[in-house]
C-alpha cells in the first residue's frame, strides 16, 4: 500500500498554526500537564538528579513518561478533534487510553534501546577486530546508528495519534500507511526536535538567571505541542482516505 505523498510544508505550517488558532483551548487543556512537567523539570534539575539511586531513578523516569503521556494524548485530541470540546475538560485524567499510550511508548523505547545496544555491540566488535580500539569512534557510531532507528520510529509514529482517538492500530498498519513517506516523517519526528533544540540553545546563556531558565523550560515544553501537532497532522493526511 502506497500512501499519498505527505505535504511537509502543510504539516509543518499547520503544526504552528493549529495551536495558535485554538490557543485558548490549548492553553486551557494543557495548562496543568505543562505545569506538572515544568515542576518535574525544576525538581529534577535542582534536587533529585544527584541523589537518586538506580531503581528510584527509573521510577522517576516512568513518572515523567506518565506526565508526558497525559500531555501528548491531550494535544493529539486537540488537533484531531473539536479543540473547544476537548478543552471543556481541563483536569488531567488517566484512563485506559493513557495506559495503552504509555505502554506503547515504553515498548517502542525499549525496543529501540535494545536494537541500539545490539547494533552498537556488533559494530564496536567489528571495528576493534579490524582496526583496533578507539573510544572516540563509539560516539560517532551511536550517531550513525540512530538514523535507521529514527527512520523506523518515524514510520510507526502514527500509532500514537490513532491511540489518542481510541483506535487500536498495529505496527503493520502504521508501516503500510506510511509507505513512501519515511524520510518526510523523519523530518517531522527528528528534524523538528533538532531545530527546536538549536533554537533553545541559541536563547540560553551560561549565566542565565533562574527566571530565564524557567522561561526556557516552559518554551521547550510548549514546543512539544508543536511537535505532537506535526505528528497528528501527518496522521490525518496519511489516513484521510482510509475507511
Determine, yes or no, domain membership for 62: yes
The parent domain of residue 81 ranges over: 8-239
Determine, yes or no, domain membership for 1: no
Are the C-beta atoms of residues 80 and 15 closer than 8 Å to each other? no
pLDDT at 133: 60
> Which cell is 78 given?
486537540
- Show Cβ contacts of residue 14 under 8 Å, excluding neighbours closer than 6 positions: 229, 230, 233
Determine, yes or no, domain membership for 14: yes
Determine, yes or no, domain membership for 2: no
Determine, yes or no, domain membership for 3: no
**pLDDT (tens digit, 9 = 90+) per residue, 112-166?**
989 888 887 887 777 666 666 666 666 777 778 889 999 999 999 999 999 999 9
DSSP string, 179-215: TT-HHHHHIIIIIHHHHHHHHHHHH--TT--HHHHHH
Taking the C-alpha atoms of residue 11 and residue 202, their distance in angstroms, rounded to an integer, is: 25
pLDDT at 220: 87
Determine, yes or no, domain membership for 142: yes
Determine, yes or no, domain membership for 91: yes
Count of structural domains within the chain = 1
Taking the C-alpha atoms of residue 9 and residue 17, their distance in angstroms, rounded to an integer, is: 12
Q: What is the pTM of this model?
A: 0.90
pLDDT at 77: 97
Amino acid at each position: 500500500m502506497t500512501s499519498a505523498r505527505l505535504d511537509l510544508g502543510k504539516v509543518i505550517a499547520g503544526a504552528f498554526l493549529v495551536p495558535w488558532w485554538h490557543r485558548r483551548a490549548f492553553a486551557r487543556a494543557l495548562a496543568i500537564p505543562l505545569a506538572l512537567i515544568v515542576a518535574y523539570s525544576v525538581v529534577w534539575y535542582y534536587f533529585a538528579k544527584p541523589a537518586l539511586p538506580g531503581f528510584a531513578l527509573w521510577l522517576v523516569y516512568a513518572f515523567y513518561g506518565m506526565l508526558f503521556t497525559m500531555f501528548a494524548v491531550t494535544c493529539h485530541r486537540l488537533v484531531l478533534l473539536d479543540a473547544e470540546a476537548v478543552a471543556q475538560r481541563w483536569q488531567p485524567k488517566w484512563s485506559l487510553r493513557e495506559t495503552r499510550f504509555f505502554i506503547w511508548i515504553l515498548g517502542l523505547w525499549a525496543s529501540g534501546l535494545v536494537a541500539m545496544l545490539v547494533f552498537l555491540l556488533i559494530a564496536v566488535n567489528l571495528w576493534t577486530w579490524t582496526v583496533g580500539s578507539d573510544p572516540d569512534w563509539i560516539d560517532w557510531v551511536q550517531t550513525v546508528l540512530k538514523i535507521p532507528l529514527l527512520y523506523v520510529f518515524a514510520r510507526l509514529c502514527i500509532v500514537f495519534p490513532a491511540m489518542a482517538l481510541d483506535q487500536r492500530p498495529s505496527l503493520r498498519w502504521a508501516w503500510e500507511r506510511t509507505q513512501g513517506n519515511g524520510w518526510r516523517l523523519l523530518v517531522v519526528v527528528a528534524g523538528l526536535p533538532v531545530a527546536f533544540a538549536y533554537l533553545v540553545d541559541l536563547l540560553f546563556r551560561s549565566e542565565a538567571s533562574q527566571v530565564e531558565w524557567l522561561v526556557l523550560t516552559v518554551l521547550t515544553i510548549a514546543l512539544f505541542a508543536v511537535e505532537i501537532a506535526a505528528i497528528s497532522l501527518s496522521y490525518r493526511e496519511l489516513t484521510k482516505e482510509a475507511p
